[in-house]
Amino acid sequence: MPPPIDRIRLLEDIGADAWPAATTAWLEGWRLSLDAGVTRRANSVLPNAARPIDDADALIDEVEQRYGARYLCPCFKLTAASEPTDLDRRLER
């Protein structure tokens, strides 16, 4: 049985809404949490786009630039709902 992607996406969004970072930005369906804190949750990317991502590599580069501008290192929270589905391999670069 495949994982319930819509339910995973909903639960992840509820969790992020319940404990938001100081700044939240959206980039093609990815939620970027940016905070001066030291926790990974506060400085994480939730790649739960509800649609396919056209150019994931360019999107990853944009995320790195946005976090780098704040002297932060992005941490991607990967789940079965992450888009694109091969994001873990793309992040290995």
Tens of pLDDT along 10-32?
Answer: 999 999 999 888 899 999 999 99
The reported pTM is 0.89
Q: What is the DSSP string of 13-68?
A: HHHHHHS--SEEEEETTEEEEE-SSS-TGGGEEE---SS--S-HHHHHHHHHHHHH
| Whether residue 38 has pLDDT greater than 70 | no
